[in-house]
Each structure stands twice: as structure tokens, then as C-alpha cells.
Amino acid sequence: MSREMYIDPHAHMISRTTDDYEAMAAAGVVAVIEPAFWVGQPRTFVGTYVDYLSSIVGWERFRAGQFGIRHYCTIGLNSKEANNEELAEGVMEWLPRFALKEGVVAIGEIGYDEQTPLEDRYFRAQIALAVELDLPVMVHTPHRDKKRGTSRSMDVCEEMGIDPSKVVIDHNNEETVAEVLQRGFWAGFSIYPSTKMGNRRMVELLKLYGGERIIVDSACDWGISDSLGVPKTARLALESGIAEETVRAVCYGNALAAYGQSGQIAEADWLDPPAIDQRTLFEGNSVLRGGREPVIEAPGAARRGKLEIE
């Protein structure tokens, strides 16, 4: 059997440790997409937001490369901080500068939190920016009043004239998926304990809907979450009898197709990296180079079992 490769198309790596990167690489994750989002508490200066965006296009990309993982990001003003109008106006001025940086695969994650007028205003403004720059969009659907918020997010996308094939509607569940797929959008599922999806439920959805336009991610961040959400879901799905090509589509191929529309992510980035990148940015994935079978091991497991620290 060929070695599995996975993409985690929603992972806030800025909040994760090197143990996570090591475990993800060992489990076969070759690429991650880091959406710009809030960081667990509100930013109160435009400058801190700008430095955050600079971190995810620069430092985090470099850090991931040291573990053989390719790092991409999305740029945007999230729905929570859109409610701080002064901050939002300032951030909006900087966004076009960041949207064309290397490895920026979409505008996102944008959308609704409490579905306020300010959230609506900046959601629309950012879709307009995506249309102008011909970039895909990653939509964060709200946790509360989710079903209506999801429908409304798609209404706005249609009104703003962006093609549904360029929009990933993320954080879906059993209640939202049918409409998202029916309207032609990509449907993301975040395998995130307690609040979003569990992977057993995900497997049931794959049985029901197949793999077309469905994308699995971990959404791992600063909360209790699992950076191995994608490889673990893939394994559970295979063990549950889901077809290999379906698993490959939802844990790798579909994310590549959706975000590949940016022109900023391609399989060659990790299978055949340019020489200049190999010298500067990317150490090469040992799973790909060494031919080892991916192993799913809890982050830090190897370290915890070892008494000596050299």
C-alpha cells in the first residue's frame, strides 16, 4: 500500500508545540493551512493584529518547514474582532498587503459569530476583496444559531457574486451539510472534541454523503483539540470500511483542489520542492523521504517515555 499523505486544511499551529508538528509529520501530514483567526482573547491594537498576520505568513511557515510540513495560511479579519469597529477598520487597510503573500491560499476565516451588523459589513467587504484578488474564501460558521448562520453565510456569498466552488463553508455538522453540498459549496468538518464534530460521527456522514466536496480538518488551536484529527479520522474511516479513494479525497485531495484555486498550493510543493525552498524553507518530510509507514502517536509520546534530556 502506498504511504498515506494528509492535509490538515484548518490548524492554528501558532498555538501548538513542536510535539504536535513531530506527531503530525510522523502520522503523514504533509501540509497544513493556518487560517487567520482570533487568538483566544481580543486584540486591542491594529499593530498586534498586523504582527499576527506577519507571524502566520513568515515565522510559522518557517517553523513548520523544519518538521518537513508545508505551511499555508488564509488572511482575514475574523467575525469576533469585526465587532471592534476601530480595530476592524485598521485591519481592513492592511489586509490587501497580506493577501498576496507567498502561501496565502484564501481569504478567511471570515463570517459570523453573533451575526451583528458589523460582522455582516466586514464579511461582505472581505468577500469583495477575495473576488478582486481571485482568491478562495474560507467561511467560519457560527457556533450559536448555527443553521441559520450557515444559510445566511451562503446567501451573502451568492449575493456578493463569488462562485460557490471557490468557497469552503467550515465547521459543518449533521444539520448543515445537506444544504451546503446542495448549493454547490465545499463542506468542511472540524474534528474537534466536545464542541464541533467527533470522528465517529464523521464516518457516519461519509457513509451517507460519500466524499465529494467534503473536507476534514482538525481546527486544532489553543483549546482542548487534537492536531491528529485528520489522520485519526482517516484511519477510523478505513477501519469502518469507507473506500480508500473517499478517505483520500476528504483528508487530502479535496482540500488541495479547493485551495489550489489560489495557485499557492500544489502537490509538487512537498513531493518535489524547488531547490531554493529546500535551501531556505523546507527540510523535507522524513515520512516521504525515508519511506516509513505513518504512525499515529500522541504528541510528545516519544519524549514523555524518555528520562534523559540531551
Partner 1 sequence: MTTAIGLLGDWVLARAGAERGWVEASLAELAAGAPERALHIFLGLAPRRLGKGDLALDAAALAAAEAARPGWRPGGWSLDGAARVLGLLSFRGSRPFAETFKDLRRTADVAEMIALYRGLPLYPGPEALDFEVGEGLRSNLRPVFEAIAHDNPWPRDHFDQHRWNHMVLKALFVDSPLAPIIGLDERANPELARILIDYAEERWAAGRPVTPELWRPVKPFAALPEIRAGLERARASGHMEELPA
Task: Tell me whether residue 62 or residue 222 sits nearer to partner 1 (CB atom).
Answer: 62
Task: Tell me whether residue 90 or residue 210 sits nearer to partner 1 (CB atom).
Answer: 90
Beta strand 29-35 with 104-111 is: unpaired
Sign of CA dihedral 201, 218, 111, 115: positive
According to DSSP, residue 250 is labeled I
H-helix segments, 240-285 = 244-248, 254-260, 268-271, 275-280
Residue from 67, 98, 189, 259 that binds partner 1 (CB under 8 A)?
A: 98
Residue from 42, 45, 86, 100 that binds partner 1 (CB under 8 A)?
A: 100
> Of 9-17, 50-58, 252-260, 288-296, which segment contacts partner 1 by CB under 8 A?
50-58
Considering the rule CB under 8 A, would residue 261 count as an interface residue with partner 1?
A: no
Considering the rule CB under 8 A, would residue 50 count as an interface residue with partner 1?
A: yes
Site track for partner 1 across 263-302, x = CB under 8 A: x----------xxxx-xxx---------------------
Q: Answer for the pair 218, 191: CB distance below 8 angstroms, yes or no.
A: yes
Residue from 85, 102, 145, 212 that binds partner 1 (CB under 8 A)?
A: 102
> CA-CA distance, 82 to 126, in Å (whole number)?
11
Q: Answer for the pair 114, 83: CB distance below 8 angstroms, yes or no.
A: yes
Site track for partner 1 across 235-254, x = CB under 8 A: --------------------
6 — phi, psi (to 5°)?
A: -125, 150
> CA-CA distance, 69 to 28, in Å (whole number)?
9
> Of 37-45, 52-60, 78-86, 217-225, which segment contacts partner 1 by CB under 8 A?
52-60
Closest distance of CB 274 from partner 1, Å: 6
Considering the rule CB under 8 A, would residue 31 count as an interface residue with partner 1?
A: no
Q: Which three cell numbers stand for residue 120?
A: 455582516
Closest distance of CB 50 from partner 1, Å: 7
Closest distance of CB 57 from partner 1, Å: 5
> Of 19-27, 93-101, 153-161, 241-249, which segment contacts partner 1 by CB under 8 A?
93-101
Contacts 24+ apart (CB under 8 A), 238-242: 240/203, 240/207, 242/203, 242/206, 242/207
Residue 221: partners with Cβ closer than 8 Å, 6 or more residues away:
12, 15, 37, 40
Binding site for partner 1 (CB under 8 A): 50, 53-54, 57-59, 61-62, 94, 96-98, 100-103, 263, 274-277, 279-281
